């Protein structure tokens, strides 16, 4: 399948659907990413903190897919925050991934000296080593602060976004600022019985689709980039098969009622989440 792309604020095209590898053990990651690439994924989301960048790199290398058809994201971990640390950490990630240029580099969490990290990332971007730079888990206050006091507006903010925590007000702000919203945990990490939710199940049945497909489609129709994770090839294919269905305004409105306004993973306003 041909996966549509969305233009970022610097013109770089980002596939609206990718494959996430959070919590995929390093020993399983090469096989999972190879299967995902074979299924048709071209956008992979990893992070230094996932400890599987080398395995992602091996899968990319053995795929034979031309580099310009791939979109690879990795993230800078909190322990590597700061201008010099961030440059070193980026070099390590690039080497582990076996790449010359990274498509998207994100600050994983807004903790530590992320101002220093951002200056390093602006430099690496100017040097052409990273095509787009962005952030993750930035709430509106920190996002606006970073934008107001730096040169480059983040191309992306990757945040928890799913039917139970929809982030529509945050999305509106990001759109105004030119920051693309990307969902982590698009399937709510399977929490709160998402896959058997009655509203989602009814909509899925009406289209002959699965709940996972309806949720991914709903996000994409909202303009959200999605990176679902599954290590099972049949689910990888299922999660990719969302471009032949269109949800109605009424269905979009019914899913809107599922928003609780609260994270199902963790609370960034809890001081304990910083450690
Ligand atoms: P997800 O919402 O993608 O849910 C994944 C789980 O859903 C899987 O473990 C699997 O059990 C289940 N699943 C997947 N497809 C299914 C299907 N078709 N039918 C039934 N069950 C299915 O959760 P995630 O992996 O946490 O999030 C996706 C990606 O987002 C991650 O892999 C990672 O790349 C990224 N992420 C980023 C952050 C961050 O802080 N930036 C945090 C979490 C995740």
Residue 211's φ and ψ, nearest 5 degrees, are -60, -45
Total H helices, total E strands in the chain: 10, 10
Protein residues with CB under 6 Å of any ligand 1 atom: 20-22, 45, 108, 136-137, 158, 184-190, 195, 210, 212, 227-230, 235, 238-239
Residue closest via CA to ligand 1's atom 38 equals 184
Pick the CATH number of 15-192+223-231 from 3.20.20.100, 2.30.30.140, 3.30.300.30, 3.40.50.300: 3.20.20.100
Q: How far apart are CA 71 and CA 76, in angstroms?
A: 17
pLDDT in tens, the chain (275 residues): 689 999 999 999 999 999 999 999 999 999 999 999 999 999 999 999 999 999 999 999 999 999 999 999 999 999 999 999 999 999 999 999 999 999 999 999 999 999 999 999 999 999 999 999 999 999 999 999 999 999 999 999 999 999 999 999 999 999 999 999 999 999 999 999 999 999 999 999 999 999 999 999 999 999 999 999 999 999 999 999 999 999 999 999 999 999 999 999 887 778 888 77
Strands (E), the chain: 5-7, 13-15, 19-20, 43-45, 71-76, 102-107, 130-136, 156-160, 180-184, 225-226
> In ligand 1, which atom is closest to the CA atom of 109?
40
**Atom 8 in ligand 1: which residue has the minimum CA distance?**
230
Distance 230 CA to ligand 1 centre (A): 7
Which of 21, 22, 211, 231 has the most ligand 1 atoms within 8 A of CB, as the residue to mutate? 22
Q: Where are the domains of the chain?
A: 15-192+223-231
Q: Which amino acid residue places its CA nearest to atom 19 of ligand 1?
A: 212
**Interface confidence: ipTM more than 0.95:** yes
Query: Is 105 tagged catalytic?
Result: no
Q: Tell me the whole-structure pTM to 2 decimals.
A: 0.98
Cα separation, 17 vs 26, whole angstroms: 22
Catalytic residue among 50, 114, 115, 139: 50
Which residues are CB-contacts of 145 (< 8 A; sequence separation ≥ 6)?
Answer: none
Query: Binding residue per annotation — 108?
Result: yes
């Amino acid at each position: 399948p041909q996966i549509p792309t969305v233009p970022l604020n610097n013109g770089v095209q980002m596939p609206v659907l990718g494959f996430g590898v959070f919590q995929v053990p390093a020993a399983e990651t090469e096989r999972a990413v190879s299967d995902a690439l074979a299924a048709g994924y071209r956008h992979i989301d990893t992070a230094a903190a996932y400890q599987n960048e080398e395995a992602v790199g091996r899968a990319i290398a053995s795929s034979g897919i031309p580099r310009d058809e791939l979109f690879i994201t990795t993230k800078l971990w909190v322990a590597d925050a700061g201008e010099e640390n961030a440059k070193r950490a980026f070099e390590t990630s690039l080497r582990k991934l076996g790449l010359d240029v990274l498509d998207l580099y994100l600050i994983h969490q807004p903790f530590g000296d992320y101002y220093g990290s951002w200056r390093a990332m602006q430099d690496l971007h100017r040097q052409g080593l990273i095509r787009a730079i962005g952030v993750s888990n930035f709430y509106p206050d920190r996002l606006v602060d970073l934008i107001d006091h730096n040169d480059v507006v983040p191309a992306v903010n990757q945040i928890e976004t799913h039917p139970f925590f929809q982030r529509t007000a945050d999305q509106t702000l990001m759109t105004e600022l030119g920051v693309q919203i990307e969902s982590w945990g698009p399937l709510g990490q399977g929490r709160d019985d998402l896959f058997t939710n009655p509203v989602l199940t009814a909509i899925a049945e009406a289209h002959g689709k699965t709940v996972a497909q309806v949720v991914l489609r709903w996000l994409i129709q909202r303009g959200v980039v999605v990176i679902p994770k599954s290590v099972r090839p049949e689910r990888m294919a299922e999660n990719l098969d969302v471009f032949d269905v269109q949800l109605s305004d009424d269905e979009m409105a019914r899913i809107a009622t599922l928003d609780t306004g609260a994270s199902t993973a963790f609370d960034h306003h809890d001081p304990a989440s910083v450690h």
